[in-house]
Amino acid sequence: MKIAIGSDHAGFHYKEAIRHYLTDLGHEVIDKGTYAETPSVDYPRFIRPVAEAVAAGEVERGVVLGGSGNGEAMMANRIKGVRAGLCWNEESARLCRMHNDANVISIGERMMTEETALKLVKIWLDTPFEGGRHLARIQELDE
């Protein structure tokens, strides 16, 4: 799978860990930055390119990170065709895929351990969308 990833300075360490993890799993990862923990940066500068790549079909999925993940999810969801889910535990990662067909996952580095973040990404990647009654509504919203 081709996956774009991006973070601000507060999500940089987990971005790097997730980027390596995804590469080790055999995915092609497109890193949209930031490329260092310092200096502090504004998250839209790095999150928007991830969301735009997903919406344009350049990548199949996107991973965005920040301190809490809230602003990153909000920024990604401003792009038509993006369905970003803010995930904080295993169930939120599973349900954002299963019920919402989330094509972007948002994670807050300050909210969880690195081990948890990697686990959430794995669950999000492995969980299929169940379709059915949710599909028509999602397609309607994407139009």
For the annotated catalytic residues, the residue numbers are 72, 99
Which residue from 55, 47, 99 is spatially nearest to 80, judged by alpha carbons?
55
Rounded distance between C-alpha atoms, residue 92 and residue 12, angstroms: 22
The torsion defined by the Cα of 128, 49, 52 and 21, in degrees rounded to 10, comes to -20
Residue environment code for 2-18, b if the CB has 16+ CB neighbours within 10 A, otherwise e: ebbbbbbbbbbebbbbb
Supply the DSSP symbol for 129: P
